[in-house]
Amino acid sequence: MGKHISWHASKISKTDRHQLNRHKSAVLWFTGLSGSGKSTISVELEKELFQLGIHVYRLDGDNLRHGLNANLGFSPADRKENIRRIGEVARLMVDAGLLTLAATISPFREDREQIRKLFDEGEFIEVFVKARVEVCKARDPKGLYRKAEMGKIKNFTGIDAPYEEPKSPEIVIDTEKLTITESVQVILDYLKQNGYLQYP
């Protein structure tokens, strides 16, 4: 940070925003292999939360590569910067009082833990969208695995780049066993049971 740059504090606190919105803010960080169901589940969850009157916004890793992260590739360094930027945007949205959904492969535990440290206790909810790479290959909704195996995509997670599963995520969604509707309900139940969808 430059020595001539100062942080300007707001006169509106995060608690003020929670009171206005009548619910808490947090980020649900969806991590998992390509094809595991992260984006599909987050889209349906966003719709359900919106219908419940929750101020919610979804950050999708692919969508952000069209703009904010358009200058980044898939090297380890670029992946790290990609996750850092998404985490900083999510932090701003949580500070603004929004329930934020971030769907991104984010393959490395260290990077995810660095993002967790940006948030207050309870504001980072790691959602591991679990599916074996063989299942994701069979789904391959974007044809990316096929391209990676043909050598057209380099550093593709699950093919020639690793994915590190979370050790203790707040939520695990096994999409080999659960439907999209069931997956969304598991997350909604977690949010309700832990008081995220209301504010005293």
Rg of the chain, C-alpha, whole Å? 17
What is the C-alpha to C-alpha distance for residues 25 and 191, in angstroms, rounded to an integer?
A: 11
Q: Say whether 106 is catalytic.
A: yes
38 in a known ligand binding site: yes
Written as one string, the DSSP assignment of 92-156 is: HHHHTT-EEEEE-----HHHHHHHHTTS-TTSEEEEEEE--HHHHHHH-TTSHHHHHHTTSSSS-
Contact 11, 82 (CB under 8 A): no
Residue among 25, 42, 106, 183 flagged as catalytic: 106
35 in a known ligand binding site: yes
What is the C-alpha to C-alpha distance for residues 144 and 50, in angstroms, rounded to an integer?
A: 31
195 in a known ligand binding site: no
For residue 99, the SS3 value is strand
Contact 30, 129 (CB under 8 A): yes
Q: Which residues contact 112 (CB under 8 A, 6 or more apart)?
A: 29, 31, 83, 106, 126, 166
Contact 55, 99 (CB under 8 A): yes
For residue 100, the SS3 value is strand
2 in a known ligand binding site: no
92 in a known ligand binding site: no
37 in a known ligand binding site: yes
Catalytic residues: 106
Query: Binding site: what residues are annotated?
Result: 32-39
Query: Binding site for ATP: what residues are annotated?
Result: 32-39
